[in-house]
Amino acid sequence: MYLRPIGRILAAVITLVAFSTALFAGSADKFTEASIWMLADTANDLRWVEIHKIDGVGPEALYHIAVLSRHKADPVWTLKHIVAHMAITGAALSRSVIRVPSGVRAAYPETYEEAYKAWLALREKGNAPICETSVMECARR
């Protein structure tokens, strides 16, 4: 007699927990270190981000990325670093990227590593920039 209502309540609770876990996990959980994500193209350029490091987890995670581009007509090895290092929130990164690319390979990390060290020095002084809007908006600053 009491099993049916308890079973319904239990099923409702399980459904609610599953839904809220997916809801609160956020889209930022899809990002992993060493992954590459495309930004919106321009008429002449392909643009993408490389995720080099992730500090923290969940909504508080901070992503350390490089922003690169290439003229569409240029060979694949002709890259331009738009921003060698950028610290960005997961929400801002999610707003910026559009898809995982096919055929785009990671650039050599030396340029990123030098810029990341400079950012760490700024963090020690208490004034390291963190992007909270979008990749390209912060890249223009």
Give ∠ CA 27-33-38 in degrees, rounded to 5.
60
pLDDT in tens, 65-117: 999 999 999 998 899 999 999 999 999 999 999 998 877 777 778 999 999 99
In this structure, whether the domain defined by 31-139 belongs to CATH 3.20.10.10 is answered with no
Q: Are 112 and 85 in contact (CB under 8 A)?
A: yes
Residues with Cβ within 8 Å of residue 112, at least 6 apart in sequence: 50, 52, 66, 84, 85
pLDDT in tens, 5-59: 555 554 444 443 333 333 334 444 689 999 999 999 999 999 999 999 999 999 9
Q: Which sequence spans correspond to the domains of the chain?
A: 1-26, 31-139
pLDDT of residue 24: 36
Compute the chain's Rg from CA coordinates: 20
